[in-house]
């Protein structure tokens, strides 16, 4: 795809990343005029290649445009051919990604709320297809985001994209959803960002270093209580409340029944967990007051 200005001056690398600032990741100047000129040319590039992508996918409205990217947390990876257009360079393809809040079902049919990185737009110019450009662009994005392909959600993927992922990454088994996004079975089964508690529908908040992927999963039902450190008073109270338990082995105190004695990120209390009586909570408070009084007179 050619433009009436030198692409190599705007996108100096073969693979470039554009974020909400509308500047390439390699841009370093502090000059306001240069910044404005670069942003203007980047906007022209995004709008033109976004339209071509939309036409190729049969969309009425382009997914990628300068207005949609500006001041957002999305990213657009652009692949260029520095030798094209007589040495001025051409734009070969784009790959747009971004975090989206989704409601999806896993393979067991459980409903979850999560915010993964999503593939929002993927296009290679018709003149450069079947030349390895798509694979180069996709691989660069995976390395830059430090993420495996099965951990991405796909927004309305075309048959070409599904075939591309099957061929290069062995992604075949899709979990049906009631929205336009596609996730594969390995999204849930092998994702290292999903802690073991996920299998019990626990709330998970995991983020890696800056520039890497992050997930947040919330259960459709149930309540999650975050564990707290065990203090000396807790240990003393345990010895006084062990004899007051429910038939299922839970402590008479809701605080100690629901909160595990571990350093795990979160635990789950399902709707089947019985609520402790009000009298038990009062009894617990009386015991604490008595122990505080006893410690003060030792």
Q: What are the distances in angstroms from CA 71 to CA 18, 22, 99?
A: 11, 8, 14
Annotated binding residues, as ranges?
122-135, 158-167
Alpha-carbon span 24 to 162, nearest angstrom: 29
Buried-state track 124-159, b at ≥16 Cβ within 10 A, e below 16: bbeebeeeebbebbbebbeebbebebbbbbbbebee
Among 72, 53, 80, which Cα is nearest to 64's? 53
214-219 sheet: strands from edge to edge: 102-105, 111-114, 214-219, 204-207
Among 91, 95, 71, which Cα is nearest to 23's? 71
Strand partners of residue 76 = 18, 96
Annotated binding residues for acetyl-CoA, as ranges?
122-135, 158-167
């Amino acid at each position: 795809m050619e433009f009436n200005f030198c692409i190599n001056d705007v996108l100096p690398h073969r693979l470039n990343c554009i974020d909400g600032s509308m500047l390439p990741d390699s841009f370093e100047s502090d000059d306001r005029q240069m910044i404005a000129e670069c942003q203007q040319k980047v906007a022209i590039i995004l709008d033109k290649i976004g339209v071509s992508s939309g036409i190729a996918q049969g969309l009425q409205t382009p997914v990628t445009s300068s207005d949609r990217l500006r001041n957002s947390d999305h990213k657009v990876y652009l692949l260029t051919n520095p030798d094209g257009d007589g040495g001025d360079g051409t734009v070969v393809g784009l790959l747009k990604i971004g975090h989206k809040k989704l409601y999806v079902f896993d393979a067991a049919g459980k409903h979850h709320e999560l915010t993964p990185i999503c593939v929002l737009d993927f296009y290679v110019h018709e003149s450069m297809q079947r030349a390895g450009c798509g694979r180069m662009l996709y691989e660069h994005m995976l390395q830059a985001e430090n993420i495996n392909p099965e951990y991405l959600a796909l927004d309305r993927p075309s048959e070409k994209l599904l075939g591309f992922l099957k061929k290069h990454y062995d992604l075949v088994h899709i979990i049906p959803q009631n929205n336009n996004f596609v996730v594969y079975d390995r999204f849930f089964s092998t994702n290292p960002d999903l802690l073991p508690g996920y299998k019990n529908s626990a709330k998970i908040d995991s983020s890696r270093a800056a520039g890497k992927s992050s997930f947040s999963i919330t259960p459709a039902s149930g309540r999650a209580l975050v564990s707290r450190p065990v203090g000396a008073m807790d240990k003393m109270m345990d010895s006084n409340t062990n004899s007051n338990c429910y038939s299922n082995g839970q402590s008479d105190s809701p605080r100690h029944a629901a909160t595990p004695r571990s350093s795990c990120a979160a635990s789950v209390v399902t709707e089947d967990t019985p609520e402790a009586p009000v009298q038990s909570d009062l009894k617990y408070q009386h015991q604490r007051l008595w122990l505080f009084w006893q410690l003060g007179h030792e």
